[in-house]
Amino acid sequence: MAYFINPVNADWSAKAFLDQIVLRIQERQTVVGLTLRANVTIGDDVQARSFIVGLQADIESLLDDFVDHTQGSGNFSGSSIVPMWSSVSFFLALNGGTSWRRKVDYDDDFSYGQIASGDIIGYWIFEDLQNALKLLKWVVRVGKWEETGGLETGSTYIGQSTYSIGTEEDITTAKSNAEADWHIDWSRDAPIVYGVLNEASGFPADAIIFRCYGVIINNEELPLFSGPTAKIDIYYPVIKPAVTNGIFNANGDGVTESTFTTFARQRNDEDYDGSGDFSLQIGKTNVFPIWPARIAGERAEKGYYTANDISLTRFVIKMETVFEDIWTA
């Protein structure tokens, strides 16, 4: 895999130098399904304005397909969208300006725009091109819940323990029985993930563990590549039980609470091998949740649900190691 050559003292017209930039553009065009830019061939006029403008325009055409990883320090929990690069945000991050740096005379301050007739072909052109490519490293795809894993069988719940005649002591017994059943097999598809604990203080005495899990798979084609693995962050809504005394509790899964319309990031840096398919089981854990505090005469629940909504499930594929955009010494 080729590496970037520092452009400050490089031969900018050398095929080996330009090949590295073209290769990086082609990699990204492949990932997002665009037509590939032609390779540099012997005899190409690589100092022509049209050649350099072509490189600049190719990169600009990629902006809508790549994630602005600078927002939220790359963590989009609490947002309703995964932010993509705009022309404004991209060039501000690239060089603090509004477009590509350009000069007519070496003593000039930088102005901004695609290279124009009469401009100097200086190192800053290629430094911008290289650094621009280094900003294009995360892509996003829509995921969906696959209805596997499960919780319910009819009206019974894993860990349920119910008594027809109850006393206050029966709650403790019911909890013990529910905990003993915590590791039995799951049986039914369910979009709810991980579940809820319910302790009822009335009679008959109840202590119920709602337990389930879900599997997220890709709903859109993922980038195809071979070699180093990429990392995937998965975003989807997570809410607490909407019942009396409902309490959000991640129960060992490291989940943050959101709303139906905002993301909570459930898993970070899962490996993706470039094969085109990805699935991840969410919510299957042996960590026993803590029982909710019971208020006399009221039901108490603790746990979380997720929204089974394709429009709010996202895979952010972080491809730094695939692109490997680093400088040589």
- Which own/partner pairs from 240-244 qualify as long-range (CB within 8 Å, at least 24 positions apart)? 240/303, 240/304, 240/305, 241/196, 241/301, 241/302, 241/303, 241/304, 241/305, 243/299, 243/301, 244/298, 244/299, 244/300, 244/301
- Residue 321's pLDDT is what? 86
Whether the CB-CB separation of 301 and 197 falls below 8 Å is answered with yes
The arithmetic mean of pLDDT across residues 7-30, rounded, is: 85
pLDDT band at 243 (very low <50, low <70, confident <90, very high): low
Q: Residue 188: pLDDT above 60?
A: no
3-class DSSP assignment, residue 150: coil
| Distance between CA atoms of residues 210 and 188, nearest Å | 12
pLDDT band at 137 (very low <50, low <70, confident <90, very high): very high
Average pLDDT, rounded, for the chain: 77
pLDDT band at 44 (very low <50, low <70, confident <90, very high): confident
Domain residue ranges of the chain, discontinuous segments joined by +: 7-136, 144-317
Closest CA to 99 of 114, 117, 120: 114
Q: Residue 164: pLDDT above 80?
A: no
**What are the tokens at 161?**
């323990």
Q: What is the pLDDT of residues 65-104, one digit of tens each?
A: 999 999 999 999 888 899 999 999 999 999 999 999 999 9
Can you tell me which residue has the tokens 């693995």? 229
Q: What is the pLDDT of residues 113-122, one digit of tens each?
A: 999 999 999 9
Can you tell me which residue has the tokens 């901004």? 112
pLDDT band at 170 (very low <50, low <70, confident <90, very high): confident
